Structure 1
Amino acid sequence: MEEQLKSLYIKRTQKDYSLSLKLQIVKEVEFGESLITHCRQKYGIKSHATVLNWLRTYGNFDWDYQRPYTMEKTPEQRIMELETS
């Protein structure tokens, strides 16, 4: 019976990170000491999204009022857009 339960066991691939590690990484990224990519490599974190979630949860940046990452249009682009409409 016990052997049958062992064969059904699947090892978890998700890691549980301590709160102190999360806060350390958030601090490093927010103070500009290192980039998210460098922190991932340094601490062995697989996903970029994991660190982003920690920044949203534990960081000081106000994610609700952030500016979009789109570039503003040049005056020439605006003129051409107005001419076509």
Structure 2
Amino acid sequence: MENYQGSRYVKRTQKDYSMSLKLQVVQEVEQGRATITQVRKQYGIQSHGTVLSWLRKFGNFDWENQNPTNMPKSPEQKIMELEAQVKLLEKQKALLERQAFVADKKAIIFDMMIDIAEQEYKIDIRKNSPPEQSTILKKKNNKQ
């Protein structure tokens, strides 16, 4: 280890940390008791990358597929996730209800605008008759 004058910086290597410390840090981070930054400060680990490498080596997270393995969720975690999902769905429902309300009001207003335009200009804007067939269909029907 090298000591630099004027500061408390001590350069460390992976060998300076015991296996039990590494496993303890990994366990605390994976169980959500502390963040990487918190365990770094608590145990005097200098690099964020050091903790990440321990998580990759000794942790239960599958880093290639980006999903947890062997990490069952506690009932409290499941409940919290479901509560968050319910809140999100309630917000989405409220948003969709507001959008439907606005769309209904717009349809009513557009209907009123068309009625006013028809009265004002004395023209039929809405089509009351079925659309005419295309010329190709007329030719086919005449040939038969």
TM range (shorter): 0.5 to 0.7
Pairwise CA RMSD: 1.8
Q: TM-score, normalised by structure 2?
A: 0.38
- In 1: Cα distance, 2:12 partner to 2:28 partner: 23
Runs of 4+ in 1 over 6 A off after TM superposition: none
Correspondence for 1:65: 65
Structure 1 unpaired stretches of 5+:
1-9, 68-85
Gaps of 5+ in 2: 4-10, 68-144
Tell me how far 1:17 sits from its aligned partner: 0.1
Matching residue within 12, 17, 21 for 1:14: 12
Query: How many equivalent pairs are there?
Result: 58
Indicate the SS of the match to 2:61: coil
Distance 2:66 2:27 in 1: 19
User: What SS does the corresponding residue of 1:65 show, helix, strand or coil?
Assistant: coil
Q: Spell out, residue by residue over 1:12-64, the C-alpha distance to the aligned partner (whole angstroms, 9 max, x if none).
A: 72241000000000000000000000000000001000000000000000000
Identity over the aligned pairs, expressed in percent? Answer: 57
- Higher RCO (C-alpha 8 Å, min separation 6): 1
